[in-house]
Structure 1
Amino acid sequence: MRRAAPKVEARLRRWSDLARREAATLASSDHPVLVRWRRNLAALPSGRSDGLVRQVNLLVNCDVRYRSDWDHGHVRDKWYGPVETLAEGGDCEDYALLKGLLLHNRGWPDQALHLVAGILATGEGHMMLGVDYADGRQVLLDNLTPRLHARPFGGWTPKYQIGAHQQTLVYIKAF
Structure 2
Amino acid sequence: MLRRVARTTMRVALAGAISFWGAAPVLAASESLLHAALGPETSVPYGWLDFCHRYRGECDIDASAPRDIDLTAKAYKEIQRVNAHVNHAIEPVSDMEHWGVVDRWDYPTDGKGDCEDYALMKRRMLIELGFPRGALLMTVVKEKNGDGHAILTVKTNRGEFVLDNMNDAVRPWTNTPYRFVKRQSQFDQNIWVAIDDPNVPLFAAR
TM (normalized to structure 1)? Answer: 0.73
Question: What is the CA distance between 1:166 and its match in structure 2?
Answer: 2.9
Structure 2 equivalent of residue 173 of structure 1: 196
State how far apart, in whole Å, the 2-side matches of 1:15 and 1:78 are.
Answer: 11
Matched, 1:103 2:126: yes
Question: What is the CA distance between 1:153 and its match in structure 2?
Answer: 3.2
Q: How many residues align?
A: 144
Tell me if the contact between 1:68 and 1:91 (Cα under 8 Å) persists in the aligned partners.
Answer: yes
Match 2:56 to one of 5, 11, 17: 17
Tell me if the contact between 1:92 and 1:143 (Cα under 8 Å) persists in the aligned partners.
Answer: yes
Letter in structure 1 aligned against 2:177: G
Matched, 1:119 2:142: yes
Matched, 1:3 2:29: no
By relative contact order (CA 8 Å, sep 6+), the higher-ranking structure is: 2
Structure 2 equivalent of residue 26 of structure 1: none
Letter in structure 1 aligned against 2:90: V
Structure with the bigger percentage of strand = 2
Tell me if the contact between 2:42 and 2:194 (Cα under 8 Å) persists in the aligned partners.
Answer: no
1:37-80: CA deviations, max 9, x gaps? xxxxxxxxxxx700000000011001111011011122110012
Structure exhibiting the larger radius of gyration computed from Cα positions: 2
Letter in structure 2 aligned against 1:14: H
Matched, 1:93 2:116: yes
For 1:149, what is the secondary structure of its paired residue?
Answer: strand
Structure with the bigger percentage of helix = 1
For 1:123, what is the secondary structure of its paired residue?
Answer: coil
Matched, 1:61 2:91: no
RMSD of the alignment, in Å?
2.3
TM (normalized to structure 2)? Answer: 0.63
Tell me if the contact between 1:140 and 1:151 (Cα under 8 Å) persists in the aligned partners.
Answer: yes
Structure 2 equivalent of residue 159 of structure 1: 181
